[in-house]
């Protein structure tokens, strides 16, 4: 996958893109990443990238000519989506990350200041994505979050094949959160490990994990249960949980 980012702060990306999974993806040739400096497309001698808004009010707006030139130069003749990182966009979810991971190339535009000129949005932006209902000072951190979530969906990137399908929110778990995990030692500060996990009965372990996922989702994010893919057995277990809690 190729990912191009347009930003006023390209150096913000290098530390993150050079570590851990991001670096692995680049090293293995699964990711071709490039950060492009929007300021490089400014033409006046001060390299101005922003201007005050028509109609007054606070904040500065990215100049349309500079941003349009940057997008056109990076996009060239490609049909890949140009995505604006913005608090007004559609929310980044597991489903959106999966959808984006199927593109061969993504072009991410990081807004700064108050925003971008509406005409560039109309002419050159194909999609707009938010990472949550809060406002960041710029789209850079949001772009990094998006890249991380998208890359995890690319087959062959994570150690165990299909591991991402068992993540919280993933289809393999039917849209549930993952239950608790344990590793050695068997006793830690007076707390043990559920016996089923050391029993060696794989079917029992699977059943326990499924029930724990239902329980955790119900406790932490009950809103997800309405959209979760639950079997009759799952529903019976959930009904029992609710009944026990009502006692």
Closest by CA to 82, choosing from 122, 51, 138, 134, is 122
Contact pick of 31, 41, 50, 86 for ligand ADE (by CB under 6 A): 86
Q: Check residue 7 for interaction with ligand ADE (CB under 6 A).
A: no
Shortest approach of ligand ADE to residue 136 CB, angstroms? Answer: 4
Q: Which residues contact 141 (CB under 8 A, 6 or more apart)?
A: 12, 131
Of residues 8-67, which lie at the interface with ligand ADE (CB under 6 A)?
none
Using the rule CB under 6 A, is 131 a contact of ligand ADE? yes
What minimum distance in Å lies between the beta carbon of 181 and ligand ADE? 29
Rg (CA), the chain: 23
Which run of H or E residues covers position 119?
helix 118-124
Active site residue 114: yes
List the one residue from 139, 144, 173, 218 that touches ligand ADE (CB under 6 A): 139
Binding-site size for ligand ADE (CB under 6 A) equals 12
Which CB sits closer to ligand ADE, 25 or 131?
131
Assess whether 87 carries a catalytic annotation. yes
| Catalytic position from the list 167, 178, 211, 216 | 167
Q: State how far the Cα of 40 lies from the Cα of 113, in Å rounded to an integer.
A: 17
Residue 135 in contact with ligand ADE, rule: CB under 6 A: yes
Q: 66 or 109, CB closer to ligand ADE?
A: 109
The residues that bridge with 106 in the sheet, in sequence order, are 3
**Does 85 interact with ligand ADE (rule: CB under 6 A)?**
yes
In the bound state with ligand ADE, the residue whose beta carbon lies nearer, of 91 and 123, is 91
Three-state SS at 2: strand
Answer whether 193's CB lies under 8 Å from 182's CB.
Answer: yes
Output the CA–CA distances (angstroms, integers) from residue 109 to 47, 142, 146, 237, in the order listed: 19, 10, 12, 45
Contact 66, 95 (CB under 8 A): no
194 binds ligand ADE (CB under 6 A): no
Three-class DSSP category at 39: helix
Rule CB under 6 A: which residues touch ligand ADE?
Answer: 85-87, 111, 130-132, 134-136, 139, 142
Residues known to be catalytic: 87, 114, 152, 167
């Amino acid at each position: 996958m190729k990912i191009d980012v347009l930003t006023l702060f390209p150096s913000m990306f290098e530390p993150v893109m050079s570590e851990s999974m991001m670096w692995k993806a680049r090293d293995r040739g699964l990711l071709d990443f490039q950060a492009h400096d929007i300021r490089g497309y400014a033409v006046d001698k001060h390299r101005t990238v922003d201007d005050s808004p028509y109609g007054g009010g606070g904040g500065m707006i990215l100049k349309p000519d500079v941003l349009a030139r940057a997008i056109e130069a990076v996009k060239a003749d490609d049909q890949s989506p140009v995505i604006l990182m913005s608090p007004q966009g559609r929310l980044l979810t597991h489903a959106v990350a999966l959808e984006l991971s199927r593109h061969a190339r993504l072009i991410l535009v990081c807004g700064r200041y108050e925003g971008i000129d509406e005409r560039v949005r109309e002419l050159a932006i194909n999609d707009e994505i938010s990472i949550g209902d809060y406002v960041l000072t710029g789209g850079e951190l949001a772009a990094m979050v998006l890249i991380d979530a998208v890359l995890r969906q690319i087959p062959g990137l994570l150690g165990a094949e299909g591991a991402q399908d068992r993540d919280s929110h993933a289809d393999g778990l039917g849209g549930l959160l993952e239950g608790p995990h344990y590793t050695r030692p068997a006793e830690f500060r007076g707390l043990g490990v559920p016996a089923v996990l050391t029993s060696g009965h794989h079917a029992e372990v699977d059943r326990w994990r499924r029930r724990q996922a239902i329980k955790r989702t119900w406790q932490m994010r009950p809103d997800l249960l309405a959209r979760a893919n639950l079997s009759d057995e799952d529903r019976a277990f959930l009904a029992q949980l609710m009944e026990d809690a009502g006692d």
